[in-house]
Amino acid sequence: MKVTFLGTGTSQGIPIIGSTHPVCLSKDTKDKRLRVSVLIEWDGQNILIDCGPDFRMQMLANQVSHIDAILYTHEHNDHTIGLDDIRPFFFRQGDIPVFAHKRVLESLKKRFEYIFESENKYPGAPGVTTNVIENKPFNFNGFNIIPVNAMHNRLQIFGFRLKDFAYLTDVKTIEKEEVDKLRGVKVLVVSALRKESHHSHFNLEEALEFIKEVGPEKAYLTHISHQLGFHEEVQKELPKNVFLAYDNLKIEIE
Ligand SMILES: [Zn+2]
Ligand SMILES: [Zn+2]
């Protein structure tokens, strides 16, 4: 299994438009972060988690030629608003399967009404097949995918475990029985917004505590704000098995 970090930034991305913050002005390419998403290549299948505003550039940067499924964590714009740009995949492949909580699919239907229309649909509009996810494992083309329920302040969100890889972003709290679903993962990806606390996201300290509780071989931090600091400096402060993810980083999981 190969995982590509397509984007590792929080909702505004880094740099923020017009910002003169030193991290936004950094020349280090690792300090430039598109909105969060990962691509999982698993036995020839391309599974995308989230499809945000930078989706098109992310697909071009990584020369992605097909998408077999899109899993959504939640409905916030930085995770969903790139859906229209699946058009090139749709033109080649037909309807793209999307998997999300019922509430998230309802939200997508409101925002992308034309994609979900069944009659008199505009010929250039993309198409999807919708799959409702509940908090129980599901099968996709023979692959077992385990949703992991967490809270983003008051909003329910899903993380996902695929074999020995797990990805959770926009987490603030998580129940013990959900943490138990992550036991034995080799690689855990979790969001860490900044050092100061935040009402709906883990800060760095909370993310590190969570990693300790799960106990993966390696952990990667994502959904990073410019307020966390320079990539190079923050990396030096982290435990030996914890890494700041950066855009276009690729990792292999056996
Ligand atoms: Zn987000
Ligand atoms: Zn969010």
From the CA of 74, how far away is ligand 2's center (Å)? Answer: 7
3-class secondary-structure state, position 39: strand
Low-confidence ranges of the chain (pLDDT < 70): none
pLDDT of residue 49: 98
What's the pTM value of the predicted model, to 2 decimals? 0.97
Shortest-distance ligand to the CA of residue 74: 2
What does the pLDDT read at residue 254? 86
pLDDT tens, residue by residue, 226-253: 999 999 999 999 999 999 999 999 999 9
Distance between Cα 199 and ligand 2 center (Å)? 11
Ligand 1 centroid – CA 119 distance (Å): 33
CA 170 to ligand 1 centroid distance, Å: 5
Separation of 46 CA from ligand 1 center, angstroms?
A: 22
Q: For the residues of 74-140, what is the DSSP string, one character each? A: ---HHHHTTGGGGHHHHHHHSSEEEEE-HHHHHHHHHHTHHHH--SS--TTS--EEEEE--SS-EEE
